[in-house]
Amino acid sequence: MAAIDALETRLLEYLSAPARSSPALARALRICEDGAPIAYAATFAWVAWRSADDPPVRSALVRTTLAGSVAVLGAGVVARALPRSRPSLTLWASRRSASDSHSFPSDHAAGASAFALASSGLPRGARRALVALSATTIVSRVLLARHWPSDVLAALAIGAAASTVAGALPSPMVNTLGEITVRWLGLSARARRTPTASRGRRQEHRPRR
């Protein structure tokens, strides 16, 4: 066990060396890390708005959201059952808190991998955005020495399992969840009608002189 820990420490030192030696790279990764939640939320909001009247895409969005949520919750349960200290190489020691003992697995990497793997039914632009966001999030966990490499590998397995579970959910249940979400958010076709479209319809019905 000690030999494996020593090997993983050396691997982490090697992988995190570029960020430790380049403040600019470390800063860029940190910005991506902090901005990822906002980017995820914006992507999901855009897809929800565009797919309110598109049942297949709406269902794919529900499955993707459920996959990420289940992965994060699952990783949290495992982290509390199997406490593990975070790497001592963490670049920003001021950020260390009580969660230092919850290194295994990485909940960020679990959620990110689930989002990417479950996004196959989303529009191409949204799918590419999620894959790019997820890849950046997963890689930054190790490059910034936030987690051990094995933490991330375990998180990828949890993300894959969550994606599989979300994909196996019955379609009627997923469709119902999508319809409830659309109604709750007011994203029906009537709610999404733009002022320009409304003016166009009024002009079509205006009698000719």
∠ CA 46-108-7, nearest 5°, is: 145
**Whole domain around residue 67: which residue ranges?**
21-88+99-189
For tokens 């699952």, what's the residue? 74
* Cα distances (angstroms) measured from residue 208 to each of 41, 154, 197, 202, 203: 47, 69, 20, 12, 10
d(CA 53, CA 72): 29
Residue 115 included in any domain: yes
- 64: which DSSP letter? H
Question: Within 13 Å and on the Cβ side, how many CA atoms surround 12?
Answer: 24
Residue type at position 45: A
* Cα distances (angstroms) measured from residue 3 to each of 6, 7, 8, 9, 85: 5, 6, 9, 10, 17
Model pTM above 0.85: no
pLDDT at 94: 43
Residue 48 included in any domain: yes
Residue type at position 120: S
pLDDT at 34: 86
Strand partners, 6: none
Alpha carbon of residue 76 to chain centroid: 15
pLDDT at 115: 95
Residue 93 included in any domain: no
Residue 8 included in any domain: no
Residue 12 included in any domain: no
N-terminal to C-terminal alpha carbon distance within the chain: 89
- 60: which DSSP letter? H
Q: Which residues of the chain have pLDDT under 50?
A: 92-94, 96-98, 190-202, 204
Residue 180 included in any domain: yes
How many domains, in total, are found in the chain?
A: 1
pLDDT in tens, 118-130: 998 899 999 999 9
